[in-house]
Chain A
Amino acid sequence: MSATAITDYSTQAAQAPPHPLIEFWQYFNENKGAVVGFYFILFISLVAIFADVIAPHSPFEQYRDAILTPPAWQDGGTWTYPLGTDDVGRDMLSRLIHGARLSLFVGVLVVTLSLAAGILLGITSGYIGGYFETMVMRLMDIMLALPSLLLAMAIVTILGPSLQNAILAIAIVVLPHYVRLTRASALTEKTKDYVTASRVCGAGPFRLMFLVILPNCMAPLIVQATLGFSTAILDAAALGFLGMGAQPPIPEWGAMLANALQFVQRAWWVVTFPGLAILFTVLAFNLAGDGLRDALDPKLKR
């Protein structure tokens, strides 16, 4: 094993370097957990895309004669509803499949919005400094000082309850974490000699910020983004629970979980399956994020 690794290395130097994507995959592949997470994300994404084809029932159809049917393998279960039905007789599996759409949508959108805005504000305030930095950072401190759910609720109340506004609210609430992280890394990277060297070569502020400093700040941001993905799904669920996020009967995982809380004693499946869906998705993103960070770090490359 080690012998082949050594020969691989020596021949690699002589050959043309592999395509960056192939190289990336080789390093990513070393972390098995990350690969499992990646495949699960791929699976969930496919499920979300082809929800209309895969789902056995409509997520909104209420089968009044089959309220709270247990999963197929339990007594009284039927294969018509493989994971049972909820309190108004909707098929759990179909709702979960359609819910994947919404939850992924919420997660991706929140992370994209907050990451983009956070990087922009963080790196400019870290690089420019002075009054601009003070203003941005104090504003972020104020946002951090308020309880996040309260702030999100306030924003949704102003904008009006809907899933889009909930997404926007969550993106704003998690923004300070990204801004602080980016600024902190930018401040340490900015003083290093390689940045000065680029400046001596004539690099402008845009190049220095986004092409020289930013790539060196990415490691904590990637981790924060994958963790933020799970927070976003959970926060969206909390807002949904308070009637400020996804409006019924939209099948959003968090809202499903929240709505079914009262049945946890007599119909465990109504709560367990949305919970497991959130757990596995969040776990998959965390694992994949971990592997992504390692694969993108050149210091860990041979």
Chain B
Amino acid sequence: MNNGEVIRARNLARYYRVKKGGFFRKAMTLKALDGVSFSINKGKTLAVVGESGCGKSTLARLVTMIERPTAGQFEINGIDGDAKDKATRKKLRRHVQIVFQDPYGSLNPRKKVGAILEEPLKINTDLNAFQRQERALAIMAKVGLSREQYSRYPHMFSGGQRQRIAIARALMLNPALLVADEPVSALDVSVQAQALNLLMDLQDELNLAYLFISHDLSVVRHIADDLMVMYLGRPVEQGEKEAIFEQPLHPYTRALLASTPRVDKSARKIRAILKGELPSPLNPPPGCTFHKRCPHMTDICTRQQPGLRLLHDRQVACHHAESIAEKGG
């Protein structure tokens, strides 16, 4: 394993073919995800933020092998994530697990907690029933569930407890990478903090890597090491959390940060309110996909799509990043 890198993804893309309207209309291509590269080290968290429809969840579905990428590669613990043969894919499944957003839909209502937790072991290991139960009880203790809850049904639990069960299930196979798809956005604020702290404790204890998907910047600020801001399937700013929160360089990141409510008046330094809505990914604007909503838009933005480039310790995809860096913040 090279310097503790758990996952490395290069130019991941996922296109969908959509048929809309009449029989004779041509099928269109929806670029849900278009060229995403990142890597996460052991014990680190990469947070992916962006508004709905920017491709965050598609990224989660690719990394957990629910869907296959249209283009690009990724490796988890050195194993090719798009391997064709079944044995490799099966092996890989043990390295990456997922926690879903809605704890009410992610647990099988017909199964007891014990059965839910033991299912991954049943499929992937040849432990006997007693060993499986031991492991399930051990993990339950780790996430703060009691022994009695082993033989209860999911509907007997609250949202926060259900999310603990979902986290426990994801940990059953000792994965190296945990994909968390908005794991706290369906929970009450008071319970959110508990769940986040649990995730952070588990990360310290098990040296897990997290791919943390969220639209809540205060949550991200709490948990992330690195940050990737996405817009219409592309990363627009990517780098260390501190650097980006300190001085956001992409106009979209600035708008996102400005939209977080602050109590402290001096912290509200950037005022940027986005006009308009997210363009349809079926028909993205030419050039920089953000130019229709961007306050810094100039002629070049409508013609040429900016690539990611290194500036002030982070990658940013904007033609005017330098001038923004000089002027603001």
Q: Is B153 an interface residue (CB 8 A)?
A: yes
> Across the interface, do B90 and A194 meet the contact criterion of CB distance under 8 Å?
no
Kindly identify, within residues 59 to 90 of chain B, every residue whose CB is under 8 Å from any CB belonging to chain A.
64-66, 90
The tally of CB-CB contacts under 8 A between chains A and B is 64
B213 within 8 Å of A (CB atoms):
no
Q: Are A202 and B106 in contact (CB under 8 A)?
A: no
B244 at the binding interface (Cβ < 8 Å): no
Nearest CB in chain B to that of A211: its residue = B119
Residues of chain A contacted by B66 (CB below 8 angstroms): 196, 199-200
Is B110 touching A201 in the complex (CB atoms < 8 A)? Answer: no
A197-B106, A199-B66, A212-B108 known; A17-B151 Cβ under 8 A: yes
A299 contacts B148, C-beta separation under 8 Å: no
The answer to whether residues A200 and B98 also contact, given A194-B106, A207-B123, A212-B108 and a CB cut-off of 8 A, is yes
Contact across chains for A202 and B120 when beta carbons are under 8 A apart: yes
A96 to B108, CA, bound (A): 46
Question: Quick one: which of B105, B119, B148, B155 contacts A193, CB cutoff 8 A?
Answer: B105
Give the distance in Å from the alpha carbon of A212 to the alpha carbon of B153 in the complex. 15
The majority secondary structure among interface residues of chain A is helix
Contact across chains for B108 and A201 when beta carbons are under 8 A apart: no
Give the chain A neighbours of B120 by CB distance below 8 A: 201-202
Fill in one digit per residue for B96-140: 1 if any A CB lies within 8 Å of its CB, else 0. 111011100111111000000001100110000000000000000
Contacts of B166 in A (CB 8 A): 197
A207 CA to B105 CA in the complex, in Å? Answer: 19
Contact of B169 with A by CB under 8 A? yes
Our pick among A193, A200, A298 for the contact of B97 (Cβ within 8 Å) is A200
Tally of contact residues, A, Cβ under 8 A: 21
CB of A203 within 8 Å of the partner chain: yes
Residues in A neighbouring B119, C-beta threshold 8 A: 198, 201, 203
B176 at the interface (CB under 8 A from A): no
Q: Are B93 and A216 in contact (CB under 8 A)?
A: no
| Residue B48, interface by CB 8 Å | no
Query: Closest A-chain residue to B153, C-beta based?
Result: A298
Given contacts A193-B102, A201-B93, whether A14 and B108 have CB atoms under 8 Å apart is: no
Other than A14-B148, A194-B108, A207-B123, give 18 A-B pairs with Cβ distance below 8 A. Answer: A13-B148, A193-B101, A193-B105, A193-B106, A194-B109, A196-B66, A197-B106, A198-B108, A199-B66, A201-B93, A201-B123, A202-B90, A202-B93, A202-B94, A202-B120, A202-B123, A216-B108, A299-B155
Residues of chain B whose beta carbon lies under 8 Å from any beta carbon of chain A: 64-66, 90, 93-94, 96-98, 100-102, 105-110, 119-120, 123-124, 148, 151, 153, 155, 166, 169, 173
Please, could you name 7 A-B residue pairs with CB atoms under 8 Å apart, sorted by A?
A193-B106, A194-B107, A194-B108, A201-B124, A202-B90, A202-B94, A216-B110
